[in-house]
Structure 1
Amino acid sequence: MGIAAYDLSQHVIRPTLIYLGRHSPSAEALLLGAAASQSDLGSALDDSRGYGLYRIAALRHQQLWDRHLALDPELASQVRGLASQHAFLAAPHLELTVNLRYATAIAWLMVEAQKSPLPAADDLLGLARVWQQVFQPRGRLRDFIEAWKRCVGNVSQVA
């Protein structure tokens, strides 16, 4: 059993996006759908394909820091502020599993780095396309939509 979609959205995704100054209903819906399709909203966090709620691979995590966050020290500092003080230094990728706000910030910045325009929050097919481009290049659009229906349900519950 994972995290309830409403709780994840209200207590993790939305506050993290607001903290980053990047909140929108579409961003919130995309990350909720990504968490649903990647890990069934946290039902399975331990996976060889990646870490945590969004299944972010260690290499992608490192590349985001090297190619995106390193170019914006203010944003890097803001994101680093979400990480655990000592644990991040010892095992930065593990932070993606144990720290939901940090993982959410990294997941959003992966989307941002891809420069994909976001569809409307209720456009599941459009959200699925962005998910596929950013999180699962070999994934099927219907996997995102089915995970959404299974884990999230009604779009109006989110925004």
Structure 2
Amino acid sequence: MGIAASDLRQHVIRPTLLYLQRPSPTAERLLLGTAACQSALGSELDCNHGRGLYRISDERHQQLWDEHLAFDPDLASRVRGLASQHAFLTAPHLELIVNLRYATAIAWLLVESSILVLPAADDLIGMAAVWRQVFQPEGNLREFIDAWQRHVGGLSQVA
């Protein structure tokens, strides 16, 4: 059993985006849909395809730090502030499983670093296209839409 969509959005996704100074209803919905599609909102947090709500691989996590955050020390410091003080140093990828806000920040920054134009907040197919490009290149847009409908429901239900 995963996290309720409204709770995930209200208590994890929205505050994380605000903390990163990137508030956006579209980003909130994209991350919510991604969590629904990747892990059924947290029902499966560690598998061969990646870790945490967003199923981010260790390699993608490291690549984001090496190729994006390393060049923005202020943002890197902000993201590092979300991580556990000592555990991050010994097992940084574990943060993707145990730390929802850290995982959400990393997921959003993967989207941001892809330099994509975000769709409108009510464009489910557009969000599915971004999900596929950033998180699941072999994925089918229908997977995202089905996961949204199964785990989140209507767009207005998570406003």
Counterpart Cα distance in 1 of 2:143 and 2:19: 30
Query: What is aligned with 1:157?
Result: 157
Match in the other structure for 1:60: 60
Find the residue that maps to 2:120 and give its secondary structure. coil
Runs of 4+ in 1 over 2 A off after TM superposition: none
Q: CA deviation at 1:50?
A: 0.4
- Determine what percentage of the aligned residue pairs are the same residue: 74
- The 5 Å alignment of 1:30-41 reads 30-41=30-41
- After TM superposition, the structure 1 = structure 2 runs for residues 107-122 of structure 1, keeping only pairs within 5 Å, are 107-122=107-122
For 1:16, the equivalent position in structure 2 comes to 16
Residue identity matched to 2:4: A
**Cα shift at 1:157:** 2.1
- The corresponding residue for 1:136 is 136
**1:69 alignment counterpart:** 69
Letter in 2 for 1:4: A
The whole-number CA distance in structure 2 between the counterparts of 1:62 and 1:158 is 32
1:145 has 2:151 as partner: no
Q: Deviations over 1:25-56 (max 9, x none)?
A: 10000000000000000001120110100000
TM-score, normalization: structure 1? 0.99
In the alignment, the residues of structure 2 paired with residue 158 and residue 25 of structure 1 have an alpha-carbon distance, to the nearest angstrom, of: 10
Q: Could you tell me which residue of structure 2 aligns to residue 103 of structure 1?
A: 103
Aligned residues: 159
DSSP-derived class of the 1:88 partner: helix
CA distance in 2, matches of 1:30, 1:124: 9
Partner AA of 1:38 in structure 2:
Q
Offset, 1:23: 1.2
CA distance in 1, matches of 2:94, 2:51: 7
- The root-mean-square deviation of aligned C-alpha atoms, in Å, is 0.5
Unaligned runs of 5+ in 1: none
Long gaps (5+) in structure 2: none
